[in-house]
Structures are given as C-alpha cells and as structure tokens.
Amino acid sequence: MVLSKKITKKDGFTLFEIMIAIAILGGLLALFLPMYRRMQTRGEIQTAKLTLGQIRNAISLYKTDIGEYPSRLQDLVRKPTDAKAAAKWVSPYAEESLIEKEEIRYRKTPGGKHPYELTVTLEDVEEPISAWQK
C-alpha cells in the first residue's frame, strides 16, 4: 500500500509578500533617516558650542594670569617663550586635544566687538559657530 501525502501547509513567503515588506521598510527608512541626520547635526552643534565654551574659559584664565589674550590657541597649552609672560604662566590652561581640531579658528581682534574671534566650522552647518553665539 502506497501512502500519498498531500502538502496543504504553505511553506515560506511568496515573492509578492517579500516585495511588500521591503517596500514598507524602505518607506520607513525614507521617513526616519532625515530625522536621524537632523538630530545628529544638532548633537554636533551642541558639542561644538560646549567645546567653544571650554576654550573661552581657558582664554579667560590665561588673560587673568598673563594680562593679555593669547596670540594663538597653542599658547594655552605651551609655556610662552617671552620671559615676562612665562613668569606669570601657571600651567596648561586647556587640554591639547581640545584645541588641536582643524575646524576651530581663533584670532585676536583688537578693534572688534569682541577681543577675539573663536569659531568652529562643521560640515553640515552653513555658517561657522561662534563662541559669542547664545
């Protein structure tokens, strides 16, 4: 006696079901990817503002001790070569890793609105972020 077994149970997914699932996932990705990117950019901006705040504090401490603003950011880390300034220099005012980033720009502006200009340029932000922005 030969037993014939009929398969009535459906195994696996059809191509159409898989295409529908991929389309749904693609739609969700298209919705959430721009939102994720905006949140990531916002985080980078906040990090840049905090970094600028730390550098501003270091510059203020330097000015208090030495009596003038640093001519460059490296002066916050290395002892000045000028004997008068070196005598007043206490210790590094900032971590070297904080000021060595390429996107950070510093320059003294004696006749400007502020005594110096301190900015960070980020890839996804059109305008540089200033240390004087709120």
- In this prediction, residue 7 carries a pLDDT of 59
Taken in order of first residue, the domains within the chain and their CATH numbers are 31-130 (3.30.700.10)
**Cα(91)–Cα(89) distance, rounded to whole angstroms?**
6
Quick check: 119 pLDDT over 90?
A: yes
**Cα(7)–Cα(83) distance, rounded to whole angstroms?**
94
* Region 43-72 average pLDDT: 92
Kindly report the pTM of this predicted structure: 0.75
pLDDT in tens, 60-118: 999 999 988 998 899 899 988 888 888 888 889 999 998 888 899 999 988 778 899 99
Alpha-carbon 15 to chain mean position: 44
